[in-house]
Amino acid sequence: MSQNLTNMITYFNNTLGIEAEGLEKSELEQFSKDNGLNLEHKLDSVKAFVFNGKIYINTSTASAEDLFHELSHILLGAMKVQEREMYDEIISYYMKQPSFKYQYNLHKKTYKHYAEQDIIEETVADLIAEEMFKMKQLGTSEVNGNELINKFNDIFQRSKQFK
pTM: 0.68
CA distances from 119 to 52, 104, 105, 106, 111 (A): 21, 7, 9, 10, 7
Q: d(Cα 130, Cα 1) in Å, to the nearest integer?
A: 21
SS3 51: strand
Tens-digit pLDDT string for the chain (163 aa): 566 677 778 877 887 777 888 899 899 999 999 999 988 888 888 888 888 888 888 888 887 778 778 878 877 887 888 788 888 988 998 999 999 999 999 999 988 888 999 999 999 999 988 877 664 454 444 444 555 566 666 666 655 554 4
